């Protein structure tokens, strides 16, 4: 069994009276790429934000190394990097300034920062845009900038919310390569997507979120075998049909 890094134990999350997540049980292994699949509005982003304690669970517990994240977040915050779906940076700053700014806020020493930024910009393919204002970047570049910022402090866990959304096929392919590259450096990656084919390609573990709960989790091949399908799309369709009958 893989080393469990993050776990959800019977986690419920409601906003007001609206139930978003219901009895979520999930284990995220260290050093792997874990994908959370679900339709739009199923609560994938909520799961990611529960991991970093941006949202507090209504009930249940989210743990990091068996310790409650809520109680320990002050000490472990710097272990996380979070690339958001829409990009989370300052539009009025350049690519370089954005990465530098958040690098400093993540306590990356000033001496190392310049070198680290150049290295990351090369990896994410933004070395030629380092002096461009963030608001002038294309959608794909913004996604890559967000990944670069999330990764600047070399986090142990990189969370990526819909990293391939709104990207053309070529950029999607580049993004998936980038995810693999980052993972190869020992970073645990948790990502969400609606594009199931991509999950098959990059994820070591998959969790399928349906109707507010995790209905399946395991390696892509385990899940496909269980549902006797060659593609994850088929698995999802079968789960969707089965749940509707129930």
By the criterion CB under 8 A, which residues form the site for other proteins?
Answer: 52, 54-56, 74, 77-78, 80-82, 84, 86-93, 97, 101-102, 104-107, 133, 149-150
DSSP 64: E
Region for residue 166 given its phi and psi (left: phi exceeds 0; alpha: psi -120 to 50; beta: otherwise)? left
Q: Which is nearer to other proteins, 109 or 169 (CB)?
A: 109
Q: Which is nearer to other proteins, 38 or 103 (CB)?
A: 103
φ, ψ of residue 21 in degrees (nearest 5) = -130, 140
Cβ(208)–Cβ(236) below 8 Å? yes
Q: Which is nearer to other proteins, 10 or 92 (CB)?
A: 92
Contacts of residue 235, defined as CB under 8 A and 6 or more positions apart, other chains included, come to: 196, 208, 216, 223, 224, 226, 227, 229
Exposed/middle/buried for 110, CB within 10 Å: 0-12, 13-18, 19+?
Answer: exposed
Q: Which is nearer to other proteins, 68 or 219 (CB)?
A: 68
Q: At its nearest, how many Å lie between other proteins and the CB of residue 5?
A: 18
Q: At its nearest, how many Å lie between other proteins and the CB of residue 40?
A: 18
Q: Which is nearer to other proteins, 54 or 243 (CB)?
A: 54
Contacts of residue 238, defined as CB under 8 A and 6 or more positions apart, other chains included, come to: 227, 229
Q: At its nearest, how many Å lie between other proteins and the CB of residue 144?
A: 15
Rg (CA), the chain: 18
Q: At its nearest, how many Å lie between other proteins and the CB of residue 228?
A: 41
Q: Which is nearer to other proteins, 155 or 220 (CB)?
A: 155
What number of other Cβ atoms are within 10 A of residue 20's Cβ? Answer: 19
Q: At its nearest, how many Å lie between other proteins and the CB of residue 100?
A: 9
Sign (positive/negative) of CA torsion 68, 203, 87, 215? negative
Q: At its nearest, how many Å lie between other proteins and the CB of residue 103?
A: 9
């Amino acid at each position: 069994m893989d080393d469990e890094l993050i776990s959800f134990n019977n986690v419920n999350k409601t906003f007001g009276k609206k139930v978003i997540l219901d009895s979520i049980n999930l284990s995220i292994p260290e050093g792997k790429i874990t994908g959370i699949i679900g339709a739009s509005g199923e609560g994938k982003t909520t799961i990611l934000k529960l991991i970093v304690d941006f949202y507090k669970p209504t009930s249940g517990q989210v743990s990091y190394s068996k310790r409650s994240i809520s109680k320990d977040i002050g000490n472990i915050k710097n272990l996380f990097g979070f690339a958001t779906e829409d990009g989370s940076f300052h539009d009025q700053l350049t690519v370089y300034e954005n990465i530098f700014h958040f690098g400093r806020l993540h306590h990356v020493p000033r001496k190392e920062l310049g070198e680290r930024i150049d290295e990351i910009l090369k990896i994410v393919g933004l070395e030629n845009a380092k002096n461009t204002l963030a608001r002038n970047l294309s959608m794909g570049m913004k996604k890559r900038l967000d990944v670069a910022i999330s990764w600047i402090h070399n986090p142990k866990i990189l969370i990526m919310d819909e990293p391939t959304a709104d990207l053309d096929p070529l950029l999607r392919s580049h993004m998936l390569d980038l995810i693999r590259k980052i993972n190869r450096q020992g970073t645990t990656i948790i990502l969400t997507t609606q594009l199931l084919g991509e999950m098959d390609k990059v994820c070591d573990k998959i969790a399928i979120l349906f109707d507010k709960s995790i209905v399946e989790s395991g390696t892509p091949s385990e899940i496909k075998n269980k549902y006797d399908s060659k593609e994850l799309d088929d698995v999802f369709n079968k789960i969707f049909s089965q749940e509707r009958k129930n």
